[in-house]
Amino acid sequence: MKKLSIFLLGALGMLAATSCEEKIDPAIPQTNPQEPIMTTGDVVSATDGVLASAAVLNLEDYRNSATGIPVMKLVETKDLPAGSTVSYKVQISDTEDFLRNVTLDATVGNDAVYYVNADKWNEAHIYLFGKSPKVKQAYYRVPVYVNLDGSDYRLQSTDYYAATGSIQETCMDMGFTISDAYYFLSDATAWALGDMTVMEAFKFAHSDADVYDDPVFTFKFEVTEDMFLNADGTKKDGIYWKIASQEGMTLADWATGIYGPETNGDDNLAGILVDVNAQAGKLTEAGKYKLTINMEDMTYEFELLLQPDVLYTPGGTNGWNQANSAWMQLHSEKGYYGLFPVNEQGFKICEELDWNNATDWGAASDAPALAGEFVLGQEGKNIMAPANGLYWIFAQFDPTSYDLTTYTLTEVSTVGMIGSFAASGWGSDVEMTSADGGATWTADVTFAAGDEFKFRFNGNWDYNYGGALNKLGLDGDNIKVAEAGTYAVTLKLQPGLPTATMTRK
């Protein structure tokens, strides 16, 4: 008998799911190397059916197929051991690297064509892509096996596949839909199912994309300590919640289009949503929350929000780099504030030191203006000033969600120092100058021991910096000079928070 190169495989795990509602674990081959006994020349294969076609595989078309989905054809065999048979398996994945994959058995039918069970393929599709009716791109590879005396031998090697490629496919019709809108019903908002005049305020936010392309919705809200108190002053065990779809709101029916966890009183901050016998979840801690739901995966996640201490202002004067930009500070009454140069490229505001659509803010319009509204994510335009120059900016925010709401820009025409030193006497500013477009400002000033001063802009106390030299802030304390002398004073506006240095001359 002619020797071939082949590897013995243990029995491959079968798909465990019995319903399209369940996720399945991918089959993981077990390998046991053995002496080579077979080469690829002994088995000649060709793609067939859906793998040989450029058309989209609509799994619904095969729902009641007696044979299944055609994938491969056995063209020829030579010198196989007596009594052996050839079989194929189809591995499919959502990525080219096959990190997540499902192995499907193919069985032979007429004319040496091999078929995959349509229901099993659909289960695999749901495991990899969910139940969305949108077209998804899957990747496939087809290992070949020779069965002899009840054992499956992998043809050639564990790296050999008779066919590889990609295929576009759609799930069977599972009656699955994603609503255009969702609403948060809770003790912290309202339980006014069907009353849009009340519930419109508690609608989840969503992008402009189709809901099947972007099934993620978010809602921000606050749970206060007094919400945990009953009318008689006793404490509740938690804040209960459910989620209503637009259809549920329209029907005002608690049995239709209502989502929640499977167990009543579930206090997990993340889990699976169900729409049959949906129960109420529970929050046990006061705070400001962001709730994210993925209505394709049917998952939810609550995140306790922390207001950022600073905001970053990447733009044309700092190379669109968050770390190199001016960092805006939080003022308890006036929102976030900052002072920095702006050029014709404009700028954006970020809550993090990188680009993230969930934390980046732009303007509703890219028309140059001294005031405007913020827009979150990619839809936000560059914030544009009417002219190049130095600007003081205030950014207002929603006190419940911490979302940025509006901004104002004030052009700064003068940067000065005012104080008790002789050249000022708290009556006039000593003007500072900039040689780098407004990022740093300098002045030479003579002080007596014990003099005090501040930085002031536009000769106006509305816009001033004081405090420690390494931590300047709006309306900060007077800066005190310990030793008399003439100093080169430098005010640095970016990168980072505003700071100053004094170098004795």
Mind giving me the DSSP string for 60-107?
Answer: GGGTT-SS-EEEEEEEEE-SPPTT-EEEEEEEEESSTT-SSEEEEEEE
| pLDDT of res. 110 | 85
Q: How big is the chain by its Cα radius of gyration, in Å? A: 33
DSSP string, 307-334: --SEEE--BTTTTT-TTTSBEEEEETTT
On the question of pLDDT at 18 being above 70, the answer is no
Find residue 444's DSSP bridge partners.
488
pLDDT band at residue 41 under the 50/70/90 scheme: confident
Cα–Cα dist 71/86, whole Å: 14
| pLDDT of res. 177 | 87
Cα–Cα dist 14/103, whole Å: 8
Q: Going from the N-terminus, what domains does the chain have, and what CATH number goes with each?
A: 6-170 (2.60.40.3640), 182-304 (2.60.40.3620), 310-412 (2.60.40.3620), 415-504 (2.60.40.3620)
CA distances for 505 relative to 446, 485, 491, 502, angstroms: 10, 8, 17, 9
Do 407 and 365 touch, CB atoms closer than 8 A?
no
Candidates 18, 2, 38, 317; CA nearest to 153 is 38
Cα–Cα dist 443/446, whole Å: 10
What is the residue-averaged pLDDT of the chain?
89
Do 361 and 350 touch, CB atoms closer than 8 A?
yes
Do 188 and 222 touch, CB atoms closer than 8 A?
yes
On the question of pLDDT at 361 being above 60, the answer is yes
Helix (H, G, I), strand (E, B) or coil at 124: helix
On the question of pLDDT at 392 being above 50, the answer is yes
Place of tokens 């908002």: 189
On the question of pLDDT at 174 being above 90, the answer is no
Antiparallel, parallel or unpaired: β 163-170 and 57-58: parallel
Helix (H, G, I), strand (E, B) or coil at 109: coil
Q: Where are the alpha helices (DSSP H) in 107-148?
A: 118-129
The residue among 18 and 441 whose pLDDT is bigger is: 441
Give the distance from CA 234 to its chain's centroid.
39
Cα–Cα dist 338/395, whole Å: 9
**Secondary structure percentages of the chain, helix, strand, coil, to 5:** 10, 45, 45
pLDDT band at residue 452 under the 50/70/90 scheme: very high
Report the amino acid identity of residue 217: F
On the question of pLDDT at 401 being above 70, the answer is yes
